[in-house]
């Protein structure tokens, strides 16, 4: 019983599909991650560079504006230091600059140990007085800062007005004068207020925002995002950049540049997410592109896997059919690749198996028929041992295949005992059919009370009519008359039997007397052949050995034929003491088996002996 193989696990089609899809998907994903990382780093570097440039440019512009202002007011400073007050020339300069709103000169007084207002200029009457009063509490701090730095910039009112404090002292440091310049830098302030993704701040070293976007003036920059660059360790760094996360958790790219005016710094801050918006676009577009690519890959993979697996599926179903015993199944695969070759080989194999099965079935049928024919043919042969009148008969017969072309027989016809032996051309079933015809004819002939020569003539006609000359038969027919002790015989080209007469000494080869006085054409050679016969006396204890030529052709395992010499030696040896017919056959049979060693026969082997027993 053949076992049907069941498909289990994931179909090879899906495996191929997964393979063809996952490989590009994985590859593209890795590529995307790497590309995004590199692009992001590059973009961050670009943003830092760009921000630094902007902050640097703003710092330069701010510095230029401040220095210009300072250059403008320095004659006023000099006027005060020279005259102890602002003269007309100072007023003229002051009023000529629209951005200046006030200018106050403070001098340190040892008596009061504090800076006192000495003189001032103002555009709006009484405005300076109000400002000084307003800054009454903070001014001492500003003056203290001036001890460390000769110039500081403040924006105490959180508007576009800046208060620039410039400390001036003579070489002996006996007179210290501080000028407080109140200036409204609207244009500069507007530049810092400009709405863009990049926010600009003008800050002091402490982080106080002097100019910047709306609602940030006066705030510490630290309140917006960490400003590590304000640490003391980095105070001397003119320009730099860092990535920070603000209090709202937003990542920012911050760059800064020192303005070169007092302790002012210009800070640029960009929302990292906004700055890297291009990266998001890149990712989005890449994902779209990858999606399209993967979709195309899947479609192609589906088509390819379908093409591949349809052939394999056909083969699978075909092999399943074969396992169920259907060898007539064929696979139609048109591809010219390995699958196609596999399908072709499968078809060849199935066809060959189918043919072999048919042959096997036919062989089994033929063997069955041959076995039947063998059974039928066995009925054509007599008992291997018999006693008819004075004659003891013993024989041996073995066909080379199921059916043989040899035939032997004995019977009593009237008072005569007929002894038949023949050998049809070849062996096997065709020869066996001729022996069957011979047997059938003999059944009738033996009732006719005719001579051996006449019997062979009838037998010849029978064989000829059956075989139409295609198969012939050698034949030897003898008729023994117990009363006259005469053995008449006719030979149709058969091996001449040997007459063995009992002598006083052991039998020798030369004592074998071939019964070859007459010979005739084989049966079946010519329908009209006339046969001759002759007679001999068969005395008591005489023995006649009948045989076919297959006996000399018996081969051993070395494929060496027994040969006539060894056959005759065996005959002589088996008959050295002139045994009974049965004993002689037993001995010769044993000698044959000793030589043969179980090897198959190449021709049918038949022999029998007839002995005229002494005691009859």
Question: Which of 487, 465, 490 is CA-nearest to residue 475?
Answer: 490
Residues 302 and 569: their CA atoms lie apart, in Å, by: 85
Should residue 494 be labelled a site residue for other proteins when binding is judged by CB under 8 A? Answer: yes
Segment near other proteins (CB under 8 A); pick from 138-146, 178-186, 300-308, 421-429: 421-429
HSE-up of residue 564 (Cα within 13 Å, Cβ side): 6
Nearest distance in Å: CB 424, other proteins? 8
**Least separation, in Å, of the C-beta of 462 and other proteins?**
18
- Residue from 135, 318, 496, 500 touching other proteins (CB under 8 A): that is 496
Residue nearer to other proteins on the CB measure, 435 or 520: 520
Considering the complex, what minimum distance in angstroms separates the CB of residue 565 from other proteins? 6
Shortest Å distance, C-beta 496 to other proteins? 6
Nearer to other proteins, 139 or 472 (CB): 472
- Chain-centre distance for alpha carbon 64: 75
Among 274, 335, 401, 493, which residue sits at the site for other proteins (rule: CB under 8 A)?
A: 493
Burial class (CB in 10 A: 0-12, 13-18, 19+), 354: middle
Query: Could you give the strand order of the β-sheet that contains 486-492, starting from the edge strand earlier in sequence?
Result: 406-413, 416-424, 473-481, 486-492, 534-537
If one asks whether residue 495 binds other proteins (CB under 8 A), the answer comes out as: yes
- The whole-angstrom separation of Cα 79 and Cα 265 is 31
Task: For the beta carbon of residue 3, count every other beta carbon within 10 angstroms.
Answer: 7
Stretch that binds other proteins, among 275-283, 412-420, 518-526, 592-600 (CB under 8 A): 518-526
- Report the nearest approach of other proteins to the CB of residue 307 (Å): 53
Contact flag: residue 514 with other proteins (CB under 8 A): yes
Residue 260 interacts with other proteins (CB under 8 A)? no
For residues 291 and 469, which CB has a smaller minimum distance to other proteins in the complex? 469
**Who's near 158: CB < 8 A, 6+ residues apart?**
217, 218
User: Phi and psi dihedrals of 156, rounded to 5?
Assistant: -65, -20
Helix (H, G, I), strand (E, B) or coil at 391: strand
Paired tokens of 41? 């780093």
Nearby residues of 481 by Cβ (< 8 Å), 6 or more positions away:
415, 416, 487, 488
CB of 516 to other proteins, least distance (A): 5
Nearer to other proteins, 312 or 424 (CB): 424
Which stretch, 37-45, 214-222, 269-277, 423-431, contacts other proteins (CB under 8 A)? 423-431
> Rounded to 5 degrees, what angle do the CA atoms 92, 128, 221 make?
110
- Smallest gap from Cβ 464 to other proteins, in A, equals 13
d(CA 321, CA 343): 14
Q: Determine if 472 is a binding residue for other proteins (CB under 8 A).
A: yes
Q: Which stretch binds other proteins (CB under 8 A): 79-87, 240-248, 487-495, 606-614?
A: 487-495
In eight-state DSSP terms, residue 428 is: S
Nearest to 243 by CA among 47, 35, 39, 59: 47
C-alpha distances in angstroms, 318 versus 2, 313, 330, 344? 15, 8, 7, 12
Which of 222, 525, 535, 556 contacts other proteins by CB under 8 A? 525
* Number of residues engaging other proteins in binding (CB under 8 A): 27
CB of residue 602 to other proteins, shortest distance in Å: 10
Please select the residue that binds other proteins; options are 401, 425, 534, 573, rule is CB under 8 A.
425
Which stretch, 108-116, 151-159, 514-522, 586-594, contacts other proteins (CB under 8 A)?
514-522
Residue 162 CA to residue 183 CA, distance in Å, equals 5
The structure tokens listed for 268 are 């640029």
When asked if residue 519 is in the footprint of other proteins (CB under 8 A), the reply is: yes
Question: Could you tell me which residues come within 8 angstroms of residue 138 by beta carbon, excluding any fewer than 6 positions away?
Answer: 156
Q: How far is the CB of 596 from other proteins (least distance, A)?
A: 19
Q: How far is the CB of 490 from other proteins (least distance, A)?
A: 11
Mark 563-592 with x for binding to other proteins (rule: CB under 8 A) and - for no binding.
Answer: -xx--x------------------------
Question: Which residues here bind other proteins, judged by CB under 8 A?
Answer: 423-426, 472, 474, 492-496, 509-510, 512-514, 516, 519-522, 525, 549, 564-565, 568, 603
């Amino acid at each position: 019983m053949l076992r049907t193989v069941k498909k289990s696990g994931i179909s090879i089609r899906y495996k191929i599909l997964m393979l063809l899809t996952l490989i590009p998907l994985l590859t593209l994903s890795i590529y995307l991650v790497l590309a995004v990382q590199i692009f992001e780093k590059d973009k961050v570097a670009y943003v830092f560079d760009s921000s630094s440039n902007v902050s640097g440019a703003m710092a330069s512009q701010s510095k230029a504006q401040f220095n210009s202002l300072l250059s403008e007011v320095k004659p006023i400073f000099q006027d005060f230091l020279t005259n102890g007050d602002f003269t007309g020339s100072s007023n003229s300069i002051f009023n000529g600059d629209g951005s200046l709103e006030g200018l106050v000169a403070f001098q340190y007084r040892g008596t009061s140990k504090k800076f006192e207002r000495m003189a001032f200029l103002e555009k709006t009457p009484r405005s300076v007085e109000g400002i000084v009063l307003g800054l009454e509490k903070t001014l001492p701090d500003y003056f203290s800062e001036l001890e460390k730095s000769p110039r500081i910039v403040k924006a105490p009112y959180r508007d576009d007005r800046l208060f620039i404090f410039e400390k001036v002292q003579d070489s002996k440091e006996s007179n210290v004068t501080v000028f407080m310049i109140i200036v409204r830098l609207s244009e500069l302030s507007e530049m810092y207020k400009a709405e863009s993704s990049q926010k600009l701040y003008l800050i002091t070293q402490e982080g106080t925002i002097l100019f910047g976007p709306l609602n940030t003036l006066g705030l510490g920059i630290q309140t917006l995002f960490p400003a590590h660059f304000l640490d003391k360790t980095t105070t001397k760094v003119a320009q730099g950049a860092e990535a920070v996360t603000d209090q709202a958790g937003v990542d920012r790219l911050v760059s800064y540049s020192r303005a070169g005016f007092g302790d002012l710094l210009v800070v640029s801050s960009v929302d990292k997410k906004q700055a890297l918006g291009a990266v998001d676009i890149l990712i989005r577009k890449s994902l779209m592109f990858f999606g399209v690519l993967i979709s195309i890959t899947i479609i192609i993979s589906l088509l390819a896997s379908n093409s591949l697996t349809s052939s394999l599926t056909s083969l699978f179903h075909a092999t399943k059919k074969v396992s169920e015993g259907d060898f007539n199944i064929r696979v139609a695969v048109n591809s010219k690749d390995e699958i196609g070759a596999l399908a072709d080989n499968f078809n060849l194999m199935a066809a060959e198996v189918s043919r072999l099965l048919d042959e096997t079935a036919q062989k089994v049928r033929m063997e069955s028929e041959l076995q039947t024919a063998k059974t039928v043919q066995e009925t054509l042969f007599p008992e291997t041992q018999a006693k008819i009148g004075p004659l003891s008969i013993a024989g041996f017969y073995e066909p080379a295949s199921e059916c043989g072309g040899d035939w032997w027989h004995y019977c009593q016809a009237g008072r005569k005992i007929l002894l038949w032996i023949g050998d049809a051309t070849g062996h096997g079933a065709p020869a066996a059919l001729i022996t069957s015809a011979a047997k059938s004819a003999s059944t009738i002939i033996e009732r006719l009370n005719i001579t051996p020569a006449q019997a062979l003539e009838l037998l010849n006609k029978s064989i000829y009519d059956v075989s139409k000359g295609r198969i012939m038969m050698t034949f030897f027919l003898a008729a023994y008359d117990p009363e006259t002790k005469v053995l008449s015989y006719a030979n149709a080209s058969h091996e001449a039997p040997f007459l063995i007469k009992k002598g006083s000494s052991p039998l020798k080869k030369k004592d074998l007397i071939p019964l070859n006085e007459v010979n005739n054409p084989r049966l079946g050679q010519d329908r009209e052949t006339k046969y001759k016969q002759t007679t001999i006396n068969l005395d008591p204890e005489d023995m006649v050995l009948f045989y076919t030529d297959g006996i000399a052709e018996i081969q051993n395992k070395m494929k060496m034929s027994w040969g006539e010499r060894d056959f005759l030696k065996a005959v002589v040896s088996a008959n050295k003491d002139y045994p009974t017919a049965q004993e002689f056959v037993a001995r010769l049979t044993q000698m044959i088996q000793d030589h043969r060693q179980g090897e198959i026969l190449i021709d049918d082997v038949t022999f029998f002996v007839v002995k005229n027993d002494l005691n009859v």
